[in-house]
Amino acid sequence: MARITLDKLAHSYLAAPKSDEDYALKQIDLDWEDGGAYALLGPSGCGKTTLLNIISGLLTPSAGNVLFDGQPVTQLSPEARNIAQVFQFPVIYDTMTVAENLAFPLRNRGVDKREIEQRVNDMLSTLDLTDKARRRAAGLTADEKQKISLGRGLVRHDVNAILFDEPLTVIDPHMKWQLRTRLKELHEQFEHTMIYVTHDQTEALTFADKVVVMYEGEIVQIGTPEELFDEPAHTFVGYFIGSPGMNILPAELQGSTLISANASFQLQRNYPVLDASHVELGIRPEFVRVESASAKQSDSPSLPYAITSVENIGRHRIIRGSVAGHALDAILPEGKDVPSEAVAVFDESHINVYSDSHLVKPRA
């Protein structure tokens, strides 16, 4: 178990990178606490897998350092770094039994025979695989194989960190629920530092205490799931997290009044005077109420809402449409009807202001 520090880390797959664009990872500085659960979230090509491979030692960065507990490990091999990794596709040793698979990393490290047996048996019961211990690993289902991959890391008590590279990609939805919770339980039980790479927001948010959102080789925000949901630092985060993502509308800021879609919104907080030309309003679909135009007007402005489609996804409905020519999505809770003549009402306490795509922090 270790604290992991990334110090001015950068990487390019080119031998002689020239411009910023040649870098798969632009400068990254990060500090991950010992025993934390972190997620690296971003679309494909954002550099998250590159970063993971640098941490595990499968890749040497072009610049900067990786430190475990303050000790530089940048030049060390994966085995010397003492980490474990679970890959996208289950990696198991086909010819070995489940128990032999779990024992393998211990045998390689010359752990005492009785100790191995003890730890493997413990791990088998932790993973609910005791009854399959003598089975050949090749015949198991995808989720069981992933459990074995994970078990090979956990069985080494002293690993500095466990890294996950989209481990649920090949797992069926129902099994995903089980594996995800099992992973959380194991994290609480063993308190390993865990780093989880994914493009799936649900996996990232449910797994991690802190999520690192990456975009085009850079970190755009590090935050708890609530922070990412309530106050996305960048419009990209707003769009990337949440289904559907945050609505972004062009706007104009005048003191604590935000003018957008031909309406004035009274913001709950005070904002600095912005000289930026490009101001936007951000509001999550969860905070857009869809009401009937004939209903009693609330204090907040009602925007005439032209609905183009309604998707019923069971527990709620996703409404898609536009206000004053700008696309706007809303979420309609179960049990409410879609009005024929609709207006959209924003929850003003959840309006965010963006200037040149970056969140404007209100004045204290």
Partner 1 sequence: MDKPWNNKAWFFVLPVFLLVALSAVIPLMTVVNYSVQDTFGGNQFFWAGTEWYTEVLTSSRFHDALIRNLIFSGIILAIEVPLGIAIALSMPRKGIWVPVCLILMALPLLIPWNVVGTIWKVFGRTDIGLLGYTLTAIGVEYNYVSNAVHAWITIIAMDVWHWTSLVVLLCYSGLVAIPEAYYQAARIDGASRWKVFRFIQLPKLKRVLLIAVLLRFMDSFMIYTEPFVLTGGGPGNSTTFLSIDLVKMAIGQFDLGPAAAMSIVYFLIILLLSWVFYTVMTNYGVERGK
Partner 2 sequence: MLELNHVSKQVGRETHISGVSLSLERGSLNVLLGPTLAGKTSLMRLMAGLDRPTSGQVLMDGKDVTGVSVRNRDVAMVYQQFINYPSLTVFENIASPMRIAGVGRKERDRKVREAAELLKLTPYLERIPLNLSGGQQQRTALARALVKGASLVLLDEPLANLDYKLREELRVELPRLFAESGAVFVYATTEPHEALLLGGHTATLHEGKITQFGPTIDVHDRPADLVTAKTFADPPLNTARVRVTGGHVHAGERHLGQLANAPPDGEYTLGLRAHHVSLAANDRYQTALTVRVGTSEITGSETFVHLDPDVAQEGATSHWVALTHGVHRLRAGDSLTVHLDPSRYYLFDTSGVLAHAPAAH
| Contact set with partner 2 (CB under 8 A) | 43-45, 142, 172-174, 177, 180-181, 184-185, 188, 199-202, 205-207, 225-230, 239-245, 284, 286, 311-315, 318, 320, 334-335
Which residue in 69, 79, 115, 128 binds partner 1 (CB under 8 A)?
A: 79
Distance CA 25, CA 32 (A): 18
- Using the rule CB under 8 A, give the single segment among 64-72, 82-90, 173-181, 342-350 that binds partner 1: 82-90
Dihedral pair phi/psi, residue 310, rounded to 5°: -125, 125
181: left (phi over 0), alpha (psi -120 to 50) or beta: alpha
Q: Which is nearer to partner 1, 64 or 78 (CB)?
A: 78
Tell me the residue length of the chain: 364
Q: Shortest Cβ distance from residue 174 to partner 1 (Å)?
A: 25
**Cβ burial, residue 111 (10 Å; 0-12/13-18/19+):** middle
C-alpha span between 90 and 170 (Å, rounded): 9
Query: Are 216 and 23 spatial neighbours (Cβ–Cβ below 8 Å)?
Result: no
Nearer to partner 2 by Cβ, of 135 and 210: the residue is 210
**Six-digit token string for 311:** 């998707």
- Judged by CB under 8 A, which stretch of 71-79, 172-180, 275-283, 312-320 contacts partner 1? 71-79
Interface with partner 1 includes 76 (CB under 8 A)?
no
Contact with partner 1 (CB under 8 A): which of 17, 35, 93, 339? 93
> Scanning residues 96 to 115, which ones bind partner 1 (CB under 8 A)?
96-97, 104-105, 108-109
Among 14, 58, 293, 338, the residue binding partner 1 under the rule CB under 8 A is 58
CB of 349 to partner 1, least distance (A): 47
Pairing between β-strand 83-86 and β-strand 161-165 as defined by DSSP bridges? parallel
- CA dist 187 → 53, 92, 214, 298, 307 (Å): 21, 22, 23, 46, 44
Residue 142 Cβ vs partner 1, minimum distance, rounded to whole Å = 14
Measured CA to CA, the distance from residue 161 to residue 51 in angstroms comes to 14
In the complex with partner 1, the residue whose CB is nearer, 105 or 321, is: 105
Half-sphere exposure at residue 208, Cβ-oriented, CA atoms within 13 angstroms? 30
Q: Which does 218 bind (CB under 5 to 8 A by kind): partner 1, partner 2, none?
A: none
CB of 167 to partner 1, least distance (A): 12
Rg (CA), the chain: 24
For partner 1, the binding residues (CB under 8 A) are 56, 58, 77-79, 83-85, 87-89, 91, 93-97, 104-105, 108-109, 135-136, 138-139, 149, 152-153
